[in-house]
Amino acid sequence: MGQVNLLEIVNVIVSAFVHFAIPVFVFISGFVLNEKYEDTFSTAGFYKRRFVSIVLPYLIFSAFCSVYSWIIGSREALSGLTRLAFSLSTCLEQATQLFGTSS
């Protein structure tokens, strides 16, 4: 029989914990959201808030990275930013039609 490495034991324990923790996190998050929005849940309002809180930081960071990349020499990044802006405007138009303009 070979020796058991302490690092391998720690790896197995951490791996088991991580594989257990992720589904528990998803379950608890769903439970808390259900309790919070049980009586006053608005699907349109929920997705508007999520859209703004996710897309705006993504666009700001993407614009910064694209401009930085363009400045240091990769001219294709700016055309990618243009395509992203066009796609985003189309997506925003569709979201406005779907959810309306009121919050």
State how far the Cα of 14 lies from the Cα of 5, in Å rounded to an integer. Answer: 15
Shared domain for 21 and 55, answered yes or no, is no
Shared domain for 19 and 47, answered yes or no, is no
- Would you place residue 103 in the very low, low, confident or very high pLDDT band (cuts 50, 70, 90)? very low
DSSP H or E stretch at residue 52:
helix 43-71
pLDDT at 1: 54
Select from 88, 92, 64 the least CA-distant residue to 78: 64
Q: Which domain holds residue 8?
A: 1-40
Q: What would the pLDDT profile of 55-96 be if each residue is shown by its tens digit?
A: 888 888 888 877 777 676 655 555 665 666 667 677 677 677
Into how many domains does the chain fold? 2
pTM: 0.35
Shared domain for 61 and 14, answered yes or no, is no
Shared domain for 91 and 51, answered yes or no, is yes
Q: What would the pLDDT profile of 15-51 be if each residue is shown by its tens digit?
A: 887 788 788 888 999 899 888 877 887 778 878 888 8
Shared domain for 47 and 79, answered yes or no, is yes
pLDDT at 27: 92
Shared domain for 34 and 46, answered yes or no, is no
